[in-house]
Amino acid sequence: MAIIDNGIYVDGVRTANPANLDETFELMRERGGMGWIGLYRPSPDEIHSVAAEFGLHELAVEDALSGHQRPKIERYGEHLFVVLRPARYLDALEEVEFGEVHVFVGPDFVVTIRHAESPDLGRVRRRLEGAPELLARGPEAVLYAILDEVVDEYAPVLAGLENDIDEIESQLFVEDVDATQRIYKLAREVIDFQRAAQPLSGIVEALLRGGAKYAVDEELQRYLRDVHDHTLRIADRATTFRTVLDNALTVESTIVARRQNEEIRRMTEESIRQGEQMKKISGWAAILFAPTLIGGVYGMNFDDMPELHWTFGYPMALGLMVALGGGLYLVFRRKGWL
C-alpha cells in the first residue's frame, strides 16, 4: 500500500487515523478538519483518486505521475503544487543521492508523494504533532515544515562535500597523485546539488510574495523567512564549492602539465646523452675500422699484392693504419664527437 501515514487534524490535534483514502475523504467532510495524506511511490490509480477528490489540476497530476521534475512551485487557483529535491550524502561512495517529493497543498489538505527515502516526512509529522499551535496554522504550516526538513537535510551533504574538497586540496601538491578525475567527479556532484538546492530560495520567495494575497499567517511568514535565509546560505556555499573545485582543477591541470614537461625534458636530456654516446661509439668504430680494413686487405695472402715484397711494405702498412686512425680522431675531435 502506498499510504505511509494518513491523519485528520482539527485545531492542530490529530483526531483520526483513516485506514484508506475513502475513509479519509469522508472524515474530512464530517469533521471539517485538515487531511494530511502521505504517499510513497503511489500507483497511478491512487494518484488519480486523490486528484479527483481534491480537484487537483491535470498538469500537476501529470507531473506527479511522471516524476523526475525540477524543483518548482506552481499555483492552480487555491491549490499549490511544489516539487522538492531532497539529498543525502553517501560517504562510502563520495556521492550525493537525490530524492524527489511532490507536495499538493489546498485550503484543507496536504498530500505528499515521496519517490525516495529522503526526506524523512515521518519526522516532520512527529515534529508538527508535537507543536499543535504551529500545526493549527493550516496546510501552509505543513509545507513550511517540509521545506525546513529538506533544507536541514542539506547540511550533512554540505559537510560531506566540504570534507572531500579539503582532501582534494591536500592532494594537489602530493607527488605521483593524479586528482583530476576525483575533482571532476566531485564538481559534477556539486553542480547537481546546486540544481536541487538553488531553486529553493525562489520557491520560498514565491510563498512570501503570496503571503498577503492568500492571508498566510504572519508568524508562519516569519518561519518562512528563516528558511529563506538558510536557502541563501546553502546556495552561497555551493557556489563557493564550485569555485574552489574550478580553481583546484586549474591548479591540478597546471601541475600535471608541469610534470609532463619535466618528464619530456628528462626524456629529451636522456635522448641527447644517448646521442652523444652514439657519436662517441660511432667515432671510435670508424677509427678502428680504418686499420682493420688495411689489415684485412693484406691478410688475404694473394701472391700479387702492392708492396708485398718491398722492405718497407710492412712499416708502410702500419704507418697507414696509424695515419688514418689519427686523422679520423682529429676530425671527430674537432666536430665534438670525441
Q: Can you list the domains of the chain with their CATH numbers?
A: 3-258 (3.30.460.20), 270-334 (no CATH)
CA end-to-end distance (rounded Å), the chain: 91
Please compute the mean of the pLDDT values over residues 222-247 and round it to a whole number.
93
pLDDT at residue 92 is higher than 90: no
CA distance 113 to 154: 20
Tally of helices (H runs) and strands (E runs) in the chain: 9, 9
Q: Which of the listed ranges 180-184, 225-229, 295-299 does the model predict with the highest average pLDDT?
A: 225-229
The set of residues, in sequence order, having a beta carbon less than 8 Å from that of 284 and lying 6+ positions away, is: 338
3-state secondary structure of 260: helix
CA distance 41 to 317: 103
> Cell 718491398 identifies what position?
310
CA distance 266 to 279: 20
Please compute the mean of the pLDDT values over residues 154-164 and round it to a whole number.
93
What pLDDT score does 264 carry?
Answer: 84
pLDDT at residue 315 is higher than 80: no
Please compute the mean of the pLDDT values over residues 264-288 and round it to a whole number.
76
pLDDT tens by residue, 129-155: 999 999 999 899 999 999 999 999 999
Q: Is the pLDDT higher at 36 or at 329?
A: 36
Cα atoms in the Cβ-side hemisphere of radius 13 Å centred on 30:
10
CA distance 50 to 39: 10
Are 108 and 33 spatial neighbours (Cβ–Cβ below 8 Å)? Answer: yes
pTM over 0.85: no
Please compute the mean of the pLDDT values over residues 191-207 and round it to a whole number.
93
